[in-house]
Amino acid sequence: MRYASVCAAIVLVAAVLAGCTAGPSARPAIIGAPGPAPAPTGSDDPAKRPVPPLDRSKQDQLAWQPCSADVRRNLAESNAPLGNAQCSTIAPRLGEDTVPSMMNAKISLLKAGTGAVPLLVLDDVDGEPGTVYAAKLAASLPPEMLRTFTLIGMDRRGTGDSDGLGCIPQQDRAAILGYDPAADKLDDLITAERDAVQQCQVDMENTLQSFDTYNTVRDIEMLRDKLGVGHLNGIGRGEGARLLAQYATRYPGHAGRMVFDGFPDPNAEIQDRYRTRADTAEQTFDAFADSCREDGCPLGADPRAALTALLGSLREKPLNSAGIRIGPGMAVNAVLTGLADKQRWPELAKAIAGARGGNGDGLAAFLRPLLQGNEDTGSRLDARMVTGCNDDEARLPPQQVGASVKEWRAKDPLFGAAFGQRLLLCLPWPPSSKAVGKPSDKLPPSLMLSTAHDPVTPQEGTQRVAQQIPAVVRVGWQGAGHGALGNSQCATEKASSYLVHATLPSSSTACPA
């Protein structure tokens, strides 16, 4: 779905929402007030910083109603239960401060739970939409949490049901995701990425660079204001955790209790970040293989050898599934998507086995959100490219990337080259003027979760961030997949104790696999 095709509808939604507001408000300071909220007063000693209070919604201005058919379909496709969830939207202005737009973004929200205290839920910009992630969490969190909190899942700008981005031509998506990891020449990949950027610039005009962390932080502050709370609590997974920390950095006086579930390394150079992800993806695949063998693996005694053989056969004879041409590049991206979600590992094993037998439908199911999305949600690749490149100022020359691809392929034979190729994703993108910085070391007492084998936010980076923020306590889960919350009972109980009772572990804690 092209972004330009929904602009008129967005303006109409904004007008309707604006017309629903009535009467004076006794809420905290509204969005648009000059500067961020004042920082809490008191000692700078991290050990003496108080855990923020839990604020009930005093005047929720959001028009919650039964979720639309589009949202229900998105939840069903992700196996996320609807339960008693309700939906709403906010409509912040698109464009930059200096180049305002007449268009408004539609930001979709979903709430689940019966508690009086809002708890924002954010996910990676190219991962599950926040609404879907919140619905899944609501089915896995302790009842005490859902009696205390109402989870508020937010779809990031251009993701999920928030007018999913669709500016990259389909043939360019296929070229980028399907590029052969064995290829040494990267010219065609660069050409596809350059064309993707040009088309996004044409489709989105002066709104292109407003899809980033800087502007999304303002969306969160608008949400806090409309919820009518002084302190906004939150759960952020992966890159969503970084967004939550940026909110707390810019609006420290409004930062509530926060759980960061995996955190991108803010210090490492882009090559170090992707090399670490390649290493961790290989380790995660080994954990997947061990799990598969324990459950009667359809890939036989050596899943690594089975996947390697599949990639070789797809190079000779690609598969087709509902219009998706699955070569080795597509297969690697499908496996990486599956590795991130431990609950889908049995499905991933069957998909690889099916592809070895000539049926690519299983792998296509993992690829579809990245490559096509659906008529409501757009493509996660578009969100990764637009928001990711707006957030990251690093641009590497092709010669340097080519050397990395060869080196990483030798070290990490399954995934090294694919992560090396991702170094080129932002090469044609306009340089970022608002790259994401490090989180403040003055955050309130918070909980950070790390996962030993997390292919999206490796534990090494999460540990480094935790060490740099004095008031953060880290809980390390010795498991695999992206995110510990809802996957590790131990980590989930620690998060519940902190969020509900303001009780943090006295020091870093390890949770068994």
Contact between residue 52 and residue 256 where contact means Cβ atoms under 8 Å apart:
yes
Opening angle at CA 479, ends 477 and 484, nearest 5: 55
What pLDDT score does 100 carry?
55
Upper half-sphere CA count for residue 16 (Cβ side, 13 Å)? 12
Note the pLDDT of residue 70.
83
As beta bridge partners, residue 258 has 234
Is the pLDDT score of 26 beyond 60?
no
The upper half-sphere exposure of residue 86, i.e. CA atoms within 13 Å in the direction of its Cβ, equals: 9
Of 3-17, 229-243, 264-278, 345-359, the least confident: 3-17
pLDDT at 33: 31
Higher pLDDT, 76 or 361: 361
More confident residue, 2 or 273: 273
* Per-domain boundaries in the chain: 3-17+52-164+211-266+436-511, 170-205+286-424
Beta bridge partner(s), residue 255: 232
**One-letter amino acid for residue 440 of the chain:** S
Write the pLDDT tens digit of every residue in 394-414: 899 999 999 999 999 999 999
Strands 107-112 and 117-122: unpaired
Work out the burial of residue 206: count CB atoms within 10 Å of its CB; fewer than 13 is exposed, 13-18 middle, 19 or more buried. middle
Cα–Cα distance, 352 to 416 (Å, whole number): 19
The pLDDT score that the predictor gives to residue 96 is 61
Residue with tokens 């507001």: 21
Joined together, the tokens standing for residue 359 give 């049926």
Neighbours of 15 (CB within 10 A): 11
pLDDT over 90 at 77, yes or no? no
State the pLDDT at residue 373: 61
Strand partners, 89: 108
Q: Say if CB 500 and CB 234 are below 8 A apart.
A: no
> How many H helices and E strands in the chain?
18, 13
How many other CB atoms are there within 10 angstroms of residue 440's CB atom?
15
Distance CA 210, CA 196 (A): 17
- Comparing 182 with 26, the larger pLDDT belongs to 182
**Alpha carbon distance, N-terminus to C-terminus of the chain:** 41
The whole-number pLDDT of residue 45 equals 72
Residue in 473, 472, 495, 471 with CA at minimum distance from that of residue 483: 495
Does the pLDDT value for residue 155 go beyond 50?
A: yes
Those residues whose C-beta lies under 8 Å from the C-beta of residue 22, and which sit 6 or more positions away, are none
- Confidence label for 68 from pLDDT (cuts 50, 70 and 90): confident
Cα 86 from chain centre: 22
> What CATH architecture is 3-17+52-164+211-266+436-511?
3-Layer(aba) Sandwich (3.40)
pLDDT at 2: 41
**The tokens of 151 are what?**
């989870």
User: What one-character DSSP code corresponds to residue 79?
Assistant: T
User: Dihedral of CA 196/198/204/207: which sign?
Assistant: positive
Enter the tokens of residue 38. Answer: 């004042």
Angle at the Cα of 157 from the Cα atoms of 154 and 159, rounded to 5 degrees: 75
pLDDT tens digits along 229-258: 999 999 999 999 999 999 999 999 999 999
Query: Reduced to 3 states, what is the DSSP secondary structure of residue 286?
Result: helix
Token couple for 396: 């590497």
Question: 88: which strand partners?
Answer: 109
Residue identified by tokens 């879907």 is 132
197 versus 59: the higher-pLDDT residue is 197
Beta strands in 91-246 (DSSP E): 93-95, 100-104, 107-112, 117-122, 149-154, 232-237
Position 229, amino acid:
V
Using CA atoms, how far apart are residues 211 and 388, in angstroms rounded to an integer? 9
Global confidence as pTM:
0.89
Residue 21: pLDDT above 90? no
pLDDT tens figures, 79-102? 888 888 999 999 998 866 555 556
Residue 433 confidence (pLDDT) above 80: no
Residue carrying the six token digits 């670490």: 276
pLDDT, mean over the chain: 88
List the one residue out of 98, 185, 116, 184 whose CA is nearest residue 152.
116
Are 1 and 383 in contact by the 8 Å Cβ rule? The answer is no
Per-residue pLDDT band for 13 (boundaries 50, 70, 90) equals very low
Relative to beta strand 149-154, strand 319-321 is unpaired
Task: Tell me the percentage of the chain whose pLDDT exceeds 90.
Answer: 72
Of 26-30, 192-196, 199-203, 299-303, minimum mean pLDDT range: 26-30
- Kindly state the tokens that stand for 481: 């997949």
Measure the CA dihedral 209/210/216/218, to 10°: 130
Across the range 360-374, mean pLDDT stands at 89
- Look up residue 498 and give its two tokens: 């902190």
- Identify the pLDDT of residue 102: 65
Beta-strand relationship, 319-321 and 232-237: unpaired
Q: What is the DSSP letter of 511?
A: E
